[in-house]
Structure formats: C-alpha cells, structure tokens
Amino acid sequence: MTITVVMGSQFGDEGKGKLTDILAPKAQLCARAAGGHNAGHQIVPSFFKELQELEDKGLKNVRDKILVSDRCNIVLDLHVAVDGLEEVELGARQIGTTRRGIGPTYACKHARNGIRLAEIFDPELFERKLRQLEQGYRKRFGDLLKYDVEDELKRFETYRAELAKYTVDSTALMYQAQKDNKAILVEGANFVTSSSTTIAGIINGLSLNPRGLTEVIGVVKAYTTRVGAGAFKTEDTGEAHQPAVEDDADGELFEIGQSWILLMMGRLDLVIVRYSNSVNYYDSINLTKLDVLDTMETIKVAVAYKLDGEELPSYPADLDALERAEVVYKEFPGWQKSTTNCKTWYDLPPKARDYVEFIEAFVGVKIKWIGTGPDREAMITRA
C-alpha cells in the first residue's frame, strides 16, 4: 500500500493539480481532501458541471469513477447568499472570500446545523433543516437576504435521484482500499481556507491510517500569491519589478461566477512555507512556476519577521502583531535566462539552482520536483 499526499503550502493556487496529474496514472484511487471528518463541501450544480466538462474533454466513463462522501456538508444557494452579506457586514474588516458559500457552510457544520449529503435523501429531514437555516438567517439579515427557499427545495427534488448514484460511505470505502493495499493519491486543499487542510485534517477526513503514509509533498510556488483581504506581508506594491502575469494555470485574474477576483502577487515568503512545514512535516517539496521569475533582475525572499526589533520565532497568531511586523529579506541576483520547459536540474541556469537550493536549505526539505512552465511535461524531477 502507498499513500501519497499532495498539499498546498501557501495561500492556495500553488499548482497542486499539475503534480497530481503526473502522479495519478500510478494510483488506483485518487481523493480530494478538504480536511476534517464530515468536512468536505460540495456545491451541487458545480459538481454536475464539472462532470460534463470532463466528458466534453473526451474522458470516458467519468460518471462511473467519481464518488462523493455521504458525510460531506452541502453548500446551498442559501450559504452563497449569506456569504456575500457577511462580507458586507464586516465592512473594512471583510475577509475577501470568493463568496461561494464555503465559510458559512463550515460555520453550519461546526454549529451542528449543516446539511450532509446523506440527509438530502430524506426529503422531510432535508426540508426541515433547510427551513430552519433559512429562518435563522432571515432573522439576522431580514430583507437583505435575497433567497427563495421554495426554489432550492424544488431543485433538490431533481438532484436527489441524480446524486444517489455517486454517494458512498467514504469511511468504509477508504478502510477497504487500505486493507486491499491500494495505491492511494490525495490532493489536499490550499493551506488557507475554512477547513482543516493540514495533514492531520486529511488523515481524519479520509480515514487514513497515519502509519501508512508513504510521502507527504508540499507544493510551493516560487513566489507568493493570494486572494482576499488581510495581511500580505510580501505583496509587491511596485517598488521592485514583479512578474507581469502568471502562466495559464492561474492567470493574474480568475473568474468567480460573473465577477473577477484579483490574484495579488508578491515575493516568496519562506516564513509561511517553513510554518506550513512545521505543521505538516513534508517529505518533499514541489517548487512550481520557477519560469515566471526568469526576467527579474533581483529576487527578494522573506526569511524572517521582526516585531519591535526582535525576530519572531514563527508566523504569528496575533493579527495585530502580523500587521506591525517588519519583513526581513534576502536578495538573490536574477538569472535572466529562460527556464521554460527545462527538463533536468543542470538545464537550469546556475543562479536559478542557487535559488532552489537556498529554499531547500531554509525550509529543511528536499525539493524533488521543479515546475518550469504551464505544459504538463515542463517539470524537472530530481533524484
């Protein structure tokens, strides 16, 4: 039995899917983990849309291969409506969520009034719980809540029969897969979200035997990006040259529904990466998008935070301290040569290798894969 876990190590959008795609042909079971038992979330219309997109790309028997845990919490249209209102309510302190309803869904999960997939197959139970949720939010937001509970109930009459074929007891499934010594590949969610995306959350959420973990891989972008509000200590505000745009895997802007969310870019923050390693204990790292830095004359990397002149031992929990902290940078000369589609370690310019080796030494984890472009084949594998 092998269990390989691919995890995001920054704010998300690290490029986890590429390595997952490369490793998937050797796996017998692939799992997506949002983290935390009973914590998976699923937006039903998006689920069916994704299946159709896979079929349109020519993948065969897609609907026979995808299963959804009966314990996952369902993201309702009600949650989506509430997500936007909660952001407005926070005003200047808003989180900057994607407004897809994920935060309110997890809030309901922890408050024990969320709706799990298994519960939609009991129409009376589903209706009672949905109406209770709607009434609670209506008391809080009043006429600001633009939501039709009757419309959602009607849609689930259609979803109910269709979802039944994909619903499975994931605990029993994963236990049997491990008992049968299946090769399991797990892709975790990004490190910053409403769920528990640590290795502990993945073990719990997928009922994995922790003694069976073969390799835990942290995926690290060669710089830092994030969406949303809040402290972004290494954001490049323009005083230094920054890459003009990411490759097609992310883009500088990405679409959420009918709006566009800015993907803010900044220098690589190794304080965050080392912190995520101290939580997850990576066996190896996949450094992605190295080629995006090819044109930079100087590359600055965050190696510490200082507060009132004292270096902080780790990424601070106190948001006020984080806001006031000063970033300590180390500068590297840019290699200013193309690394796009490099296939071996020695194809990289010496200065690019120096950059990689510093990250490796600072974090204390071997960099086993290096992404050098958007193509699937643009990946260096180091022994």
Q: Which residues are catalytic?
A: 109
The verdict on whether residue 373 carries a ligand-binding annotation is yes
Q: How many helices (H) and strands (E) does the chain have?
A: 11, 19
The verdict on whether residue 73 carries a ligand-binding annotation is no
Q: What is the bridge-based pairing of β-strands 68-69 and 167-168?
A: parallel
The letter for the amino acid at 132 is Q
Structure tokens at 165: 């074929």
Between CA 339 and CA 352 the distance in angstroms is: 8
Between CA 366 and CA 359 the distance in angstroms is: 9
Between CA 206 and CA 195 the distance in angstroms is: 13
The verdict on whether residue 98 carries a ligand-binding annotation is yes
Q: Which residue has tokens 């407005």?
A: 88
Q: Which residue has tokens 């994920």?
A: 102
The verdict on whether residue 291 carries a ligand-binding annotation is yes
What DSSP character marks residue 72? Answer: P
The verdict on whether residue 60 carries a ligand-binding annotation is no
Between CA 359 and CA 303 the distance in angstroms is: 10
Structure tokens at 17: 């899917």
Q: How many CB atoms neighbour CB 233 within 10 A? A: 18
The verdict on whether residue 364 carries a ligand-binding annotation is no
The verdict on whether residue 91 carries a ligand-binding annotation is no
- Percentages of the chain per state (helix, strand, coil), in multiples of 5: 40, 25, 35
Structure tokens at 277: 């390693």
Cα–Cα separations (whole angstroms), residue 277 to 191, 199, 218, 234, 314: 11, 10, 8, 19, 11
The verdict on whether residue 218 carries a ligand-binding annotation is no
Q: Where are the alpha helices (DSSP H) in the chain?
A: 16-23, 44-56, 77-90, 102-110, 123-141, 149-164, 170-179, 199-205, 270-280, 319-324, 350-363
The verdict on whether residue 113 carries a ligand-binding annotation is no
Structure tokens at 252: 């500088």
What is the torsional sign of CA 120, 122, 128, 129? negative
The verdict on whether residue 372 carries a ligand-binding annotation is yes
Residues annotated in a binding site for GTP:
289-291, 371-373
Residues annotated in a binding site:
98, 112, 190, 193, 289-291, 371-373
Residues annotated in a binding site for IMP:
98, 112, 190, 193
